Homo-oligomer: A and B are copies of this chain.
Amino acid sequence: MSLEPVRIALDAMGGDFAPENPVAGAIQALKIYPELFVYLVGDELKILNELRKHEVRELRHRFEIKHTTQVIEMGDGAVEGIRRKKDSSILRAVELVRDGLAQAIVSAGHTGAALASAQIRLRTLPGVARSAIATVMPTETNLFVLIDSGANPEVDPENLVEFAIMGTIFSREVLQYKNPRVGLMSNGTEDGKGNSLVKESFKLLSQAPINFHGNVEGHDLFCNPVEVVVCDGFTGNVILKTAESISDAIFSWLKREIKKTPFRMFGAWLARGAFRAIRRKTNYEEYGGSLLLGVNGVCVIAHGASTPKAIKNAIRVARESIAHQVNPMIVEKIKAYHDSQSLVL
């Protein structure tokens, strides 16, 4: 990986434990990645208070506080929030990218506000019609990218082709899968299954410059996974949240059942390595958050409850996307795709 400086704008006020965890995560990242520079965007006094808890003397020339006075709260509407709060940390962080001072934003704050800020202030990359959220989902055997996992409740088939291309590049460059297979989310694996969006998209995806695997259905997602799953943002949101909901439900239910007798508790303690192995591999902290792909800048949306480690990993994902030139590659591949399409016509 190159040692070109990588400049990140961190929304220091975003998340359930801000600015404590964002600041702590930034410091972890600065210690590991020598080429990193971080803008801590938010309330200066509060950030300084957090910085005091850490040993930062040697890092001092590698971060800078950008003071802002407002925070978009969970109760605020996304678009209305960024309209009313011009001096909010998320908007200011995005503006650092728009103005060329930073290459990436990382935020664990209001997801809708982060999305809207990036979409409005950064616009899409040349040739890209819609940006989409790419979320990394862990299975026992691989990691797959679910795109779009929530930005666009309604899309057209051309959008899905762009999502497939962007997801492929992310899977290859950041997750290091050589030739990621792309599955089209449907209600059955047979060709010809699906709603009208899926049926039309199937044809386009078959001709797109990707490793198209055909339709995938819910049964495949975790048991027989591909590397990229393409769908509209409504379906993607439902999948993402259902998956989180059911795995949370299973483990907390299991916990309550185990606590019912001392025997079970002792047994679970003996078997704790098995639980931990799964937990480690499915822990959101490791994946650092979702990427908004297709905007002109790198935008990482971390979990609201992000720990310092999760923030550090979100910064890592931003850094890798920059180092591996994910955005220039998206522009190139999508241009090549559209050029090939116009040749056909």
- What residues of chain A have their CB less than 8 Å away from a CB belonging to chain B? 139-140, 150, 153-154, 185-188, 194-196, 198, 217-223, 232-235, 237-250, 253-254, 256-258, 260-261, 263-275, 277-278
- CB contacts (< 8 Å) of A258 on chain B: these are 271, 274
Further pairs besides A219-B241, A221-B245, A250-B278: 18, Cβ < 8 Å: A140-B256, A187-B234, A188-B237, A194-B234, A198-B234, A217-B237, A217-B238, A221-B241, A222-B245, A234-B235, A254-B275, A257-B273, A258-B274, A260-B274, A264-B273, A267-B267, A267-B270, A267-B271
Q: 5 A-B pairs, CB-CB below 8 angstroms?
A: A222-B242, A253-B278, A254-B278, A257-B273, A263-B270
Give the docked Cα–Cα distance between A245 and B219 (Å): 5
Which B-chain residue is minimally distant from A238 (CB atoms)? B218
How far is B248's CA from A304's CA once the two chains are assembled, in angstroms? 28
**A224, chain B: closest CB distance, angstroms:** 9
Residues of B within 8 A of A253 (CB): 140, 278
Are B250 and A247 in touch, CB under 8 angstroms? Answer: yes
A137 to chain B, nearest CB (A): 10
Of A244, A263, A274, the most chain B CB neighbours within 10 A belong to: A274
Q: How far is the CA of A223 from the CA of B251 in the complex (A)?
A: 11
Measured CB to CB, the nearest residue on chain B to A233 is: B187
Evaluate whether A222 and B238 lie within 8 angstroms (CB atoms) in the complex, with A271-B268, A274-B264 already known.
no
Residues of B within 8 A of A271 (CB): 258, 263-265, 267-268, 271
On chain B, the residues within 8 Å of A232 by CB distance are 195
List 6 tightest A-B contacts by C-beta distance, closest first.
A218-B241, A267-B270, A267-B271, A257-B274, A187-B237, A218-B242
When distances are taken between beta carbons in the complex, the residues of chain B under 8 Å from A246 are 221-222, 242-243, 246-247
Name the distance in Å between A112's Cβ and chain B's nearest Cβ. Answer: 9
Once bound together, how far apart are the Cα atoms of A256 and B267, in whole Å?
16
Note all chain B residues with C-beta closer than 8 A to A277. 257
Nearest CB in chain B: distance from A262 CB, A: 10
Please measure, in the bound complex, the distance between the C-alpha atom of A222 and the C-alpha atom of B274, giving whole angstroms: 24
B238 contacts A187, CB within 8 Å?
A: yes
Q: Shortest Cβ distance from A193 into chain B, in angstroms?
A: 8
- Chain B proximity of A249: nearest CB distance (Å): 4
Q: How many Å from the CB of A11 to the closest CB on chain B?
A: 21
Whether B268 lies near A264 (C-beta < 8 A) is: no
A244's partner among B185, B219, B245, B269 (CB-CB below 8 A) is: B219
Measured between alpha carbons, how far is A239 from B217 in the docked complex, in Å?
10
CA distance A196 to B139 in the complex (A): 32
Q: B residues within 8 A CB of A264? A: 270-271, 273-274
Shortest C-beta distance, A304 to chain B (Å), equals: 12
Whether the Cβ atoms of A218 and B243 lie closer than 8 Å is yes
